């Protein structure tokens, strides 16, 4: 890599995935200088709020591990000075790590300027260079070029071949979600595959999902991860707001089904 200024590779471990409300529990930064020398810094931080169980299971950090660590405010200047005026890199850094870090800085009245700063998101490059479209899937699973793409018949036929290719490639392999939970094994049984794919789907737009207790919960807004049935009972107007708002008809239908089920139970 040819660098005109230091490049800091950034990664955060956090209490959760909410950029506004969650906090950093660990930050690692690797600074690569134009002369190819490196400086590294890893700091654990007491977030002063609970860490979600899901997050702890992923990164292995629990609140008890951080009781003697500094809060972000007490280490903010050290982090700021390390990264300030450097180009920034990371994986999904544009949508998660950097926005969350900047929120933490702003709460400490520190303003990280991104003017003339280049942000290198490895995930973005990955998605640009390794396409995830039907033509790429057809080449990967069937080792054939898709001719006349976007002709509906050709696309449907290619998709059928891709599904068969996926079953052949992954048959017998265990599928796990991002948290490591086992969802089942790939088999030739379409019902089984369908159960793996739509494990928590309630509405097609994904506005409603199911928690680990198999209860329908909101997947958006101020009631995210709260029981739909419980909220509708506490705040009936929220249901009416949803019905009057610009949600897909399928989503409104599912909300209505949950509401009616709650009334009859």
The reply to whether the predicted model has a pTM over 0.75 is no
Residue with token string 């906090």: 23
Distance CA 256, CA 260 (A): 6
Q: Looking at residue 199, what is its pLDDT? A: 65
Q: Outline where DSSP puts E strands in 105-244.
A: 119-121, 174-176, 182-185, 208-210, 216-218
Nearest to 93, CA basis, from 107, 78, 74, 114: 114
Contact 31, 38 (CB under 8 A): yes
Domain with CATH 3.30.420.10 in the chain: 7-127
pLDDT higher than 90, residue 59? yes
| SS3 state of residue 174 | strand
88-98 average pLDDT score: 95
87-90 and 38-44 beta bridge pairing = unpaired
Q: How confident is the model at residue 131 (pLDDT cuts 50, 70, 90)?
A: confident
Distance CA 264, CA 252 (A): 19
Q: Give per-residue pLDDT as tens, 183-231.
A: 899 999 988 888 887 767 799 899 999 988 989 999 999 999 999 999 9
Q: Looking at residue 265, what is its pLDDT? A: 67
Average pLDDT across the chain, whole number: 93
Residue with token string 């249901």: 239
Chain centroid to Cα 1, Å, comes to 29
Give percent of the chain above pLDDT 90: 80
Contact 184, 195 (CB under 8 A): yes
How many CB atoms lie under 10 A from the CB of residue 56?
A: 17
What's the CATH class of domain 7-127?
A: alpha beta
Residue with token string 């509405």: 203
Q: Looking at residue 36, what is its pLDDT? A: 94
Residue with token string 């003339």: 116
Q: How confident is the model at residue 82 (pLDDT cuts 50, 70, 90)?
A: very high
pLDDT higher than 70, residue 106? yes
Chain centroid to Cα 176, Å, comes to 15
Q: How many CA atoms lie within 13 A of 226 on its CB side?
A: 13
Q: Looking at residue 130, what is its pLDDT? A: 87
Contact 82, 29 (CB under 8 A): yes
Number of separate helices (H) and strands (E) present in the chain: 10, 9
pLDDT higher than 90, residue 148? no
143-161 average pLDDT score: 92
The per-residue DSSP string of 106-145 comes to: HHTT-----TT--EEEHHHHHHHHS--SHHHHHHHHH---
Q: Looking at residue 98, what is its pLDDT? A: 96
pLDDT higher than 80, residue 89? yes
Q: How many CA atoms lie within 13 A of 263 on its CB side?
A: 7
Distance CA 142, CA 253 (A): 38
Q: How many CA atoms lie within 13 A of 219 on its CB side?
A: 16
pLDDT higher than 90, residue 164? yes
Q: Looking at residue 264, what is its pLDDT? A: 74
């Amino acid at each position: 890599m040819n660098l005109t200024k230091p490049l800091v590779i950034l990664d955060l471990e956090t209490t959760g995935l909410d950029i506004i409300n969650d906090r950093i529990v660990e930050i690692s930064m690797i600074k690569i200088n134009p002369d190819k020398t490196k400086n590294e810094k890893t700091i654990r931080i007491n977030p002063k709020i609970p860490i979600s169980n899901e997050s702890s299971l992923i990164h292995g950090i629990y609140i008890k591990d951080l009781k003697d660590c500094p809060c972000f405010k007490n280490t903010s200047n050290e982090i700021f000075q390390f990264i300030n005026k450097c180009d920034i890199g990371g994986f999904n850094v544009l949508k998660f790590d950097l926005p969350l870090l900047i929120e933490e800085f702003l709460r400490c009245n520190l303003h990280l300027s991104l003017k003339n700063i280049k942000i290198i998101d490895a995930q973005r490059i990955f998605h640009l260079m390794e396409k995830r479209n039907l033509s790429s899937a057809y080449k990967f699973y069937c080792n054939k070029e898709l001719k006349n793409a976007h002709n509906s018949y050709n696309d449907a036929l290619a998709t059928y071949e891709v599904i068969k290719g996926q079953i052949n490639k992954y048959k017998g392999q265990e599928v796990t979600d991002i948290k490591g939970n086992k969802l089942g094994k790939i088999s030739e049984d379409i019902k089984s595959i369908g159960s793996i794919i739509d494990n928590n789907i309630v509405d097609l737009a994904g506005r409603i999902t199911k928690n680990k207790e198999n209860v329908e919960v909101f997947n958006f807004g101020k009631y995210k991860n709260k029981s739909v049935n419980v909220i509708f009972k506490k705040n009936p107007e929220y249901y009416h707001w949803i019905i009057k708002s610009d949600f897909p008809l399928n989503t409104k239908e599912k909300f209505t089904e949950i509401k009616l089920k709650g009334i009859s139970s």
